[in-house]
Structure 1
Amino acid sequence: MLVAGVGLGAGLLAGCQQQPGPGAQPDPVVGAKTSTSDIPPVVTGRNLSAGRYREVDIVIIRPEGVPPEPIPVCIALHGGWGAAKVFLDYGVPQMLTQIVRDGSPPFAVVAVEGGNWIGNKDDDPQRMLNEDLPGWLAYHDLATTPFSVVGFGEGGSAALNQGRSPGFQAVAAISPTLFPTWDAAQRAKMFVDQAQWERVEPLRHTMELGKTPIGLWCGADDPERLDLTKQLAQRAKAVKTAFDPGGHDDAYFRRAIPEALKFVAGYL
């Protein structure tokens, strides 16, 4: 299937199977590139990821009323085994439009499907973000180097890992999933081995994180993550923290995500 996929790769990697958001008319030809003058605020589709060795969902959210031109990009990383489209359920299109109307420079939010963001064998979500995503952004006439990244849960930890790479102007993590020891990480059964955990655990890389402005949020009623998030904030010298009432649930994420987007928008 992969050999056959090589022939399809150009179309899929470029954003094939593009699906306009609600109310927009679908393209007459699957995989045909939409004229920049006809781009709807929300575009969803599935792309073939070499990094993840499979097709993945992608969701592109632009603020309404903004001319269709290349604009900066904030990557949005979902939690756990969720999906990229959860950001539509949380109302990110409306959040983003309001942030821009309130005076922020225009930017797009792009969510992709990353599994648990750790990966295994042929599944490498970080490779997808670093190698596949720039081409997808270019196809959709967006800036190919994201200026920021926002994530929650496991996606929050993945956002912090992305923040270790040069080029990011801001990172926002909401209720990140953290493991202070290998014993704790091993009990979660998320990692292949200790070496993998050591490579991706944000608490082990706070010196690298300190080079990028970081915002951290965690619900005060989320004891599993609250203390660890506070430790991370102190060690990584986070420039923004919020530990308001709330748990590890949709209600808290809906409140925190607009704050996280406003935070990263402040670094445009």
Structure 2
Amino acid sequence: MSRRAVLTLGAGLGAGLLAGCQREPAPTGTGAQLLAGNPTVPDTDPVITRRDLSTGRAREVDVVVMRPSGVPAQPMPVCVTLHGGKYGNAKSMVSLGLQQALTGLVKQTGVPFALAAVDGGNWVGDKDDDPQRMLMDDLPGWLDRLDLATTPFAALGVGEGGTGALTLARTPGLSAVAAISPTLFDTYADAAKSGIYQTRQSWEQGEPLRHTPQYANLPVGVWCGTDDRDFLATSREFAEKARGKLTTGPGGHDDAYYRRVLPDALKFVAGYL
């Protein structure tokens, strides 16, 4: 069964569970009508943070869910968002203005979806710390408890999280992936200097540049600032080999650039809902 089919089934099951719990029925109407100022639409906290134990990472992690403002709590599709750098965390994705960008996009399209961010370290991990296993094995249960579709339809990441999103996309099922300033390395010498990969084997197995044929049938969007001297060339190389969409413009490898292009990246993945 495709990931999109699972998502649709999961949303239906979630709606059934809500009915079984005898909650108040959700208002009827299209997404656009719900966002047009209908006074009967109950608001919900657009950002929810909880602490959960990850078996994949062997530690507790923050899980942050961002919903569009003005949309009632209901089952909806999810895009998983991955933070940059081993010192980043799930909450840092909120500080980039993602929830506000999501709300603006949903108001335009009338099609609501949610964003989920989790603490992932450097998204490569080491030994018993496996962030990708967390995304595959732990995240579905966390989303289920929040009445969201348990299987993300897309992944979006910044910096090392951009590489993490591309790594996740090698597992079949995503509808689209967006990588902003991904930390890609065309040689192990450069990868070793970064401290992200612990061994040559982990780089060879994990580096998206070494596995570009696996993206042949997946919509891929890549954004990189023209002042990002370390990763502009490898971003171009990856987009060309993976037949993805490359967007460049003024900016470096920093939060200011991420904030500027995140709305465009969100719009890209939302086009594959």
> Quick check: TM above 0.5?
yes
Shift in Å at residue 223 of structure 1? 1.2
Unaligned 5+ runs, structure 2? 1-22, 25-41
SS of residue paired to 1:223: coil
Question: 1:67 Cα shift?
Answer: 2.4
Percentage identity across paired residues of the two chains: 55
Distance in 1 (CA, whole Å) between partners of 2:185 and 2:54 is: 28
Contact 2:43–2:71 (CA<8 Å) still a contact in 1?
A: no
**Contact 1:104–1:266 (Cα < 8 Å) also in 2:** no
Can you list the C-alpha shifts for 1:27-52, whole angstroms capped at 9, x where unaligned? xxxxxxxx897841110111100000
Paired letter, 2:267: K
1:111-169 residue CA offsets vs partner (Å, 9 max, x unmatched): 00000111111100000000000000000000001000000110000100111111100
Matches within 5 A, 1:109-124: 109-124=115-130
Return the match for 1:173 from 168, 179, 183.
Answer: 179
The one-character-per-residue Cα deviations of 1:170-202 (angstroms, maximum 9, x if unpaired) are 000000001101122122232221111111100
| Partner residue, 1:185 | 191
Aligned match for 2:259, one of 254, 261, 267: 254
1:67 to 63, 69, 72: 72
Q: Which amino acid aligns with 1:51?
A: G
1:43–1:60: 8 Å Cα contact kept in structure 2? yes
SS at match of 1:132: helix
Q: Distance between the aligned counterparts of 2:44 and 2:121, measured in 1?
A: 28
Specify which of 190, 195, 204 is matched with residue 201 of structure 2. 195
Equivalent residue runs for 1:70-81 within 5 Å: 70-81=75-86
Distance 2:117 2:188 in 1: 30
TM-score, normalization by structure 1: 0.84
User: Does residue 212 in structure 1 map to residue 222 in structure 2?
Assistant: no
**In 1, distance between residues paired with 2:74 and 2:237?**
41
SS where residue 225 of structure 2 aligns?
coil
The answer (yes or no) to whether the contact 2:44–2:69 under 8 Å persists in 1 is: no
Cα drift, residue 90 of structure 1: 1.1
TM-score by length of 2: 0.83
- Any gaps of 5 or more consecutive residues in structure 1? 1-34
Secondary structure of the corresponding residue to residue 263 of structure 2: helix
Tell me the distance in 1 between the aligned counterparts of 2:160 and 2:97: 20
Counterpart residue type for residue 125 of structure 2: G
Distance in 2 separating the partners of 1:252 and 1:190: 22
2:9 alignment counterpart: none
Q: Which residue of 2 aligns with 1:42?
A: 47
1:131 matched residue in structure 2 = 137
SS in 2 for 1:74: strand
2:227 aligned residue (218, 221, 225): 221
C-alpha contact 1:104 1:265 (8 A) present in aligned 2: no
Tell me if 1:97 matches 2:103: yes
Q: Distance in 2 between matches of 1:121 and 1:195?
A: 13
**2:238 counterpart of 1:266:** no
8 Å CA contact retained: 2:44, 2:70: no
